[in-house]
Structure 1
Amino acid sequence: MIRRVDLRGRVAAGEVLDLQAVHELVPRALLDVEAALDVVRPICLDVRHRGLEAIKEYGEKFDHVRVEDLRVPAEALKTALEELDPAVRSAFEESIRRVREVSEDERGADVVSEPAPGGRVTQRLVPVQRVGLYVPGGRAPLASSVVMNVVPAQVAGVQSLAVASPPQKDFGGLPHPTVLAVCAMLGIEEVYAMGGSQAIAGFAYGFEGCRKVNLITGPGNIYVVAAKRFVQSEVGIDSEAGPTEIAVLADDTADAAHVAADLISQAEHDPMAASVLVTPSEALATAVEAELPKQVAKTKHRERVEEALGGQQSAVVLVDDLDQGTAVVDAYAAEHLEIQTVDAEERAALISNAGAIFVGGWSPVSLGDYCAGSNHVLPTAGCACHSSGLSVRSFLKAVHVINYSRQALAEVAQHVVNLAHAEDLPGHAAAVTARFPEAPAATSEPANG
């Protein structure tokens, strides 16, 4: 059901298990965004030129339902919330509370520095003005993504928020009612029944009844990812999130049933999802391999899970020891990294590259997906080595505000003049000397003669 990759003895034999080697030995699912770009480019350009009508036509083609008014009526949002199962509503309320608390702690404040008397530089954290939030609606209606996108944006202070989610044939062309209910819970009134690359283009370029946005966030399929890449010249994006992935670093203190359940939890997202166990314990590896078929047989999405676990992107990786295992998962840079070892907290502190780290046997990824307070929109495909997950800071811009007095400028003026001449930019120097006509003219010459 899941392949083995044995890395034991390789380092002793002289091999170097660096980032490149790990990516070759533990490959991910093939995700050809460039090929998908060829598909979405004409769609995005068509939406740019024809706007609303183009979005409607592509919605009918890809979602198999014709939607005449993309804007979800306020009454539909209200009804969805009224009809939401009370237990589910309570769960979402707790999720919202926790994500909001973490986001408020992360928000940060303006920072004021005074590099010289009378010279002040303030870094202001300014919210993006308008954001388009994408919520998938394919294999699963990810209403939890509404929470993960909207709450940090609200805490950041974004004033204009619009949500897009694909129209559902079973619900009369509206997005899934749970998605609508959570939007209503959060006070989001601008919701559109549109999905795929046409929704991303609609947000990027604007269309009749919907102003263009400054930033687009939220996960989606490969065509959504490709569309986000295509429109980056128009708007900002959070990331190019690919298929979900989990890596579990575990030793013989881990519970094989728990590890197997965690691997399956991510595999049920997508046939291209990656589930990787890294362990120095052959006994644990064997126990997990035996446990997987038992649990998969009982899961609802068995076919999808089996395809994901059997793909090249999933594996049980045997290593010499936990130190080597730590190096492997750090190089792998998983979206979700679980550490189930006797020294889990200490191991977690050694990791630099992961979208989110789940420490110990009682912190499964599912907790982070819903109710840990953390965000589940995370970098995939190894991008955790340079990117962060979605957070309140994703919706903030840092702006430096420089405020110098006459005396503070005078004290540093000659340095500015000298550096300007060193770069052969005398106009830069003149912008300073013009303010001090009583001072002798600078005689510095450009560094190159």
Structure 2
Amino acid sequence: MKEKLENRSQWASNIGFILAASGSAVGLGNIWKFPGKVAAYGGGAFILCYILIVALVGFPVMLAELSLGRATQKNAVGAFRKLNRRWTFAGCIGIVTLFVILSYYTVVGGWVLKYIWVYLTGADFGGGATQYQDYFMNFVSSPIEPLILGVIFLLVCIYVIVRGVSEGIERVSKFLMPCLFVLLIAIVIQSVTLPGAVEGVKYLFTVRPGTVNGDTLVGALGQAFFSLSVGMGIMITYGSYVPKKENLAKSAGVICAVDTMVAILAALAIVPVVFVTLGADSLGQGGGVAFMALPDVFGRMPGGVVFGCLFFMLLFLAALTSAISIMESCVAFLTEEFHLTRLKATILLTLPMLVLSAGYSLSQSSARGINLPWFDFHEGLQMLPMNAVMEKFTDNLMIPLGALFFCLFVGWVWGSKNAVREIENNGEHPFPVKKFGHFLCVFWHLWSSL
């Protein structure tokens, strides 16, 4: 029986799709994780490796996800099941991953709201040499306030999702993404014009031969996959809303370029000013950069209050656009697989997720003792805080696993020829590098299998 797809939601315009998909890719990882990794892996060497990996690995994998979504007109689970029922589990991996990520993304979104409020109201961070660290630790250890702010962040996401694809996600993305770029460029200009910032810029773009090694490549690979939102099913869902007339290869190229540009601009906004104020060692990886190191930097700068407010507004936009894409992928799964309305699906998703979010938030305080077992090949079985286990579960296990199964499926089950046929849309949009793309797909499968 031929499926009826005429009522399938679609993007109203290609620019709307590109902005929404770019918003998914441009997230918290670009704004604080990328600058930290640039510093950790030696500046220009990491940027060079990152750009090459995005072009040679990230782009073909994203394009394959988009083509799978558009070919099947299904969510991540439905797409795999439609083409081969035995591979339905691969889509389920993506949905579970996204559910867990969203549960702690909302908590971090609440942290960002707190800091926006602090800078807007001129609240005092306290005093002493560790004032910013103490303020952050006291806040996240609070049992109530982070949860309330996380719920507020989640409600914003819910409002957008319930309105639908074109009226909700696309319309909001058309407004938020330009705002994000304006804020980011304003911060970059202020950062690179500070006295002494030129040394930080040199550090950022100088390629030191000794820093180009296997660790740098692995770090760039992990950052590229996390940043581009591939391997989790988001781009399958977003691809399913793309009309056949649109050029998928061109769109994927623009999304990768926008994501990379934002990451480099974020590094320009953060690395030089932290480099000259606190030193490169202060650029750790994780939330500490945004919530402890950077407020310290802003506190030492002329006009630091304005700078800080702009930065956390930027961080909020990045978090929101990514959270919306994650929630949409989960809601699309529920609406299509269980025939629920968008509102019912969103409520069904939100209720259990709030429990997981509460666990992530409450486990920030070691006094509460919310610990879970985690097995590491190097460290063995450990008892770790719930927040650490949740992040390791997604970053170290589920995302790499999902990416591996997706690539194996496209390369050897569905077949790269079918993917190329969908990309070209029966010759309407010739894909001149399809042979090269097939080689990259096979190479990535073999590399991932090691």
**TM-score, normalising length: structure 1:** 0.24
Answer 1 or 2: higher relative contact order, Cα 8 Å, separation at least 6.
Answer: 2
- Indicate the structure with greater helix content: 2
**TM-score, normalising length: structure 2:** 0.24
- Indicate the structure with greater strand content: 1
